[in-house]
């Protein structure tokens, strides 16, 4: 391709995206918490993953300020050079304790964490078996691992068992615990049992598991398990982590390229996450989760997560519904292909403990007026 060919190619790609009705652009949300101005319009947002409202919690903000004053704005280097501060080690120890594992490692993002875990543990000679609705970071990590990748139909445990039985060598099973677009939960006990039966390693991405599932220690008995999470959702900061056995974490420290070849998580984010973790593990965290559970039940009784999908099917219908809600001061994003499969465009409602009862009631009434199909007690 000549230099002159690139502008034409770019124009064609952008035109195709626009013609397909899939054009996207960044929007500015000026806010702390769910209430603010979206492109200048006052709204209540039901789009954030700040599930417990900890982003603006005074203790979390104060911890970030203290870290900024002590260590400055950035870490200045990769973890294996001079980028590790005491706050990183303290946070990792507390994350491991929280997840009941021997060790943990923090990375700059949740996306980078899945890339690092799967490329370090996968590779030639390994079959990675992945649920078809796993997050994009898992999909990309599996591709980069150069492993034999097999996809099992969403929630099909017989399909999982069959793919493991056919694995020619080592096998690694990876699944979201709560799926980011449907908000449904994996059967972790059954998935772990399949790993136990076939000697497979298990990677669970618990990014959205603020309301569970919360597996018991017996779930992972006899299974090498890695628990991946983020610092940016339940904990309201930024970053990702993996928790597991000491041997797994040592391997990640030594071979996970997305951890080795990048500047370390900022001290302020690490400190904010550590302060948020202390809240989550204490009485206030219990109260916040109860409030979140109450809000979810007001919209979709029995639904397992704060991600409530309103599946409308048609892309134009989803965009129109989002616009109608925005006119009422309620921001709920329309999710379209390629984020979700064609024919499953939807509104993706995310609820927070920071919402008020009145705000949730307003949203429920507006969705009812639209005739929007909310999930029932089955969580689907």
The active-site residue, picked from 48, 180, 345, 352, is: 180
The terminus-to-terminus CA distance of the chain in angstroms comes to 47
**What is the torsion angle, in degrees rounded to the nearest 10, for the CA atoms of residue 249, residue 250, residue 253 and residue 257?**
-80
Kind of pairing, strands 201-205 and 225-230? Answer: parallel
**By CB neighbour count within 10 A (0-12 exposed, 13-18 middle, 19+ buried), where does 288 fall?**
buried
Cα angle 297-302-304, degrees, rounded to a multiple of 5: 100
The active-site residue, picked from 99, 208, 295, 355, is: 208
137 is catalytic: no
99 is catalytic: no
Q: How far apart are the C-alpha atoms of 106 and 99, rounded to whole Å?
A: 13
User: Is there a contact between 217 and 225 (Cβ–Cβ < 8 Å)?
Assistant: no
- Which residues touch 368 (CB under 8 Å, ≥6 apart)? none
208 is catalytic: yes
DSSP 248-260: HHHHHHHH-HHHH
The active-site residue, picked from 99, 135, 233, 303, is: 233
**By CB neighbour count within 10 A (0-12 exposed, 13-18 middle, 19+ buried), where does 277 fall?**
buried
Residues with catalytic roles: 180, 208, 233
């Amino acid at each position: 391709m000549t230099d002159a060919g690139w502008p034409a190619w770019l124009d064609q790609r952008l035109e195709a995206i626009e013609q397909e009705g899939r054009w996207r652009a960044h929007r500015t949300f000026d806010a702390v918490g769910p209430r603010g101005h979206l492109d200048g319009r006052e709204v209540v947002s039901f789009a954030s993953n700040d599930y417990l409202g900890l982003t603006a919690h005074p203790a979390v903000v104060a911890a970030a300020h203290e870290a900024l004053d002590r260590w400055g704005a950035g870490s200045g280097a990769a973890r294996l050079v001079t980028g590790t501060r005491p706050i990183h080690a303290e946070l990792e120890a507390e994350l491991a304790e929280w997840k009941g594992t021997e060790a943990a490692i923090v990375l700059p993002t949740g996306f980078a964490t899945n890339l690092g875990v799967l490329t370090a543990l996968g590779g030639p000679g390994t079959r990675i078996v992945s649920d078809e609705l796993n997050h994009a970071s898992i999909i990309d990590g599996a591709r980069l691992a150069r492993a034999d990748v097999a996809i099992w139909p969403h929630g099909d445990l017989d399909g999982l068992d069959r793919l493991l039985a056919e694995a020619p060598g080592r096998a690694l099973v990876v699944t979201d615990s709560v799926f980011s677009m449907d908000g449904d939960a994996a059967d972790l006990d059954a998935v772990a049992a399949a790993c136990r039966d076939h000697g497979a390693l298990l990677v669970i991405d618990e990014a959205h598991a603020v309301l569970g599932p919360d597996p018991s220690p017996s779930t992972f008995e006899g299974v090498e398990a890695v628990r991946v999470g983020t610092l940016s959702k339940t904990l309201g900061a930024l970053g990702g982590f993996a928790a597991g056995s000491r041997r797994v974490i040592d391997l990640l420290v030594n071979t996970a390229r997305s951890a080795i070849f990048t500047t370390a998580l900022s001290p302020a984010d690490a400190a904010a996450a550590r302060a948020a973790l202390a809240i989550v593990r204490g009485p206030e965290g219990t109260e916040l989760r109860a409030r979140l559970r109450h809000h979810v039940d007001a919209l979709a009784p029995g639904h397992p997560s704060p991600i409530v999908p309103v599946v409308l099917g048609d892309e134009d219908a989803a965009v129109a519904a989002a616009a109608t809600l925005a006119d009422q001061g309620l921001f709920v994003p329309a999710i379209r292909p390629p984020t979700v499969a064609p024919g499953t465009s939807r509104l993706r409602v995310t609820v927070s403990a920071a919402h008020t009862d009145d705000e949730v009631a307003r949203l429920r009434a507006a969705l009812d007026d639209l005739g929007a199909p909310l999930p029932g007690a089955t969580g689907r």
